[in-house]
Chains A and B, each alone.
Chain A
Amino acid sequence: MRKLVILGGGTAGTMMANKLRKALSRDEWEITVVDKHRTHYYQPGFLFIPFGIYNRSDVEKSKSDFFPSGVKVIYSDIDKIEGEENRVLLDGGQVLHYDFLIVATGTQTRPEETPGLTDKLWKKEIFDFYTIEGAVDLQKFFKTWEGGKLVMAISELPYKCPVAPIEFVCLADEFFTRKGIRDKVEISLVTPLPGAFTKPIATAMLSELLKSKNINVIPDFYIERVDNDKKVLVSYDQREVEFDALTIVPVNMGADMVERSGLGDDLNFIPTNKFTLQSEKFENIFVLGDASNIPTSKAGSVAHFASEILFENLMNTIEGRPLTAKFDGHANCYIETGFGKGALIDFNYETEPLPGTFPLPGIGPFGLLKNTKMNHYGKIMFRWIYWHILLKGKELPVEADMTMAGKKRVSL
């Protein structure tokens, strides 16, 4: 019996388990998935919880509902990977041997990495919405908050779903407008990036959008610490931003297990060939999703497009062919912009987000870099697609490779 082990049964691991179980003979291949948690969270839904649009029950399902039959599932923490020995040690002492290993342990938030962040204001006036607990706490807080300086801050790059903080401030603008206290709420976005987003054309569009909503952007701000007494964020170059309520994306890091395995960089992301998705260190280890260091967004859509490439390359290597499938870094993100509208960006390693239309056969077109109602529906539909199509490893009507169809080349 040959053995394939998948570490992490989140978005990426679940998709791969479904694709591979279908393709590999059950007589020849044993597939094992390891995850420490039994609940699968629809993380993109966390964004909507603080504003009462979604609740906990809208984003939680049992992981086991999404694993195909014929896959062995072990709920356990992972101690480490021993790449030289082709084996994984689990926390209870169990040992898993593998012919091929897929690492899909994602990225987690590390608030303790920022001095002062988890002090006395944590969960009282400082929140995150990247965890279910944080999102739920913030919903409670917003119900009675009477206004003041609301700061949305990003601690470190990279972090998953790079557009989520922009969406957060847009939804906050709508939420407090509807509550009738928008004039009492000053909203700011604090980012280590030089602007609202990395890519220049999208940044120009998004800056314009935020300005029109009276949301300040404070760029190039790299947070050193949080001063709980003065209620300020302090940057490494000693600038300060005051807050009454702080929502933060804490430092994102890969799993500690990656560090223990000697496989990670300084943030525990795994050096990975950005085209083939093979780990730089071991030929039979592949990395999918947020766990890798490939230079594209950490997003579910990216994991989805990459999963098609990884599937091809795994089949290639299993059947003795070279790794001919190449990932282009394709990312496709709906950006919720409030008041029932949304924007859509589509890009890859080479091409930054461009304006135009996105041709989704049968449903689209969606406006690229445009603020439309259709894009908002795209985001809302995404939850259904996520649970019913994406996780099951089924085909979406979107190609893994980015297409230039509908895009307009522009220069700034």
Chain B
Amino acid sequence: MANKEIAGKTVDVNADGYLNNPSQWDKDVAIEIAKEEGIELSNKHYEVIEFLRKTHESGETLTIRKVGKSGITDIKGFYELFPGGPLKISSKIAGIPKPSSCV
């Protein structure tokens, strides 16, 4: 655990820069983390982020597939919004834990 200054707030992050406490998240924090990832957030990004936070809160496991079926974007669109590792990056921006693919 470490504290980090993001958007003027002190938040608790893990070694990979993921928020340990989703309740410390707000839009300013999101904008700042997104900037570090080289992403400028659009409305579409926010819709995805909201979906991620809601799904996470309900205790469900998130997968790229699930986001692709959310009705907000398809999988290709998800990759375009968050290039590289869409679920990893969007989870970080959404202030939820790093997705652990479990096999």
A-side interface residues toward B, CB under 8 Å? 156-159, 162, 192-194, 197-198, 220, 222, 224, 236-237, 265-267, 293, 295-298
Contact = CB atoms under 8 A, between A and B. Distances in A.
A236 B75 contact: yes
A227 to B, nearest CB: 15
Q: What does DSSP make chain A's interface, helix, strand, loop or mixed? A: loop
B65 A198 contact: no
Interface of B: 60-61, 63-66, 69, 75-76, 78-79, 83-85, 100-103
Contacts of A220: 84-85
Contacts of A296: 102
Given A220-B85, A224-B75, A162 B65 contact: no
A198 B100 contact: yes
Contact of B79 (A193, A237, A298): A237
Contacts of B69: 266
B101 A222 contact: no
Contact of B103 (A157, A236, A266, A267): A157
Q: What does DSSP make chain B's interface, helix, strand, loop or mixed? A: loop
Contacts of A192: 101
Contacts of A159: 103
B76 A193 contact: no
Contacts of B101: 157-158, 192-193, 198
B66 A266 contact: yes
A295 B65 contact: no
Nearest to A162: B103
Contacts of A224: 75-76
B36 to A, nearest CB: 19
A204 to B, nearest CB: 16
A370 to B, nearest CB: 21
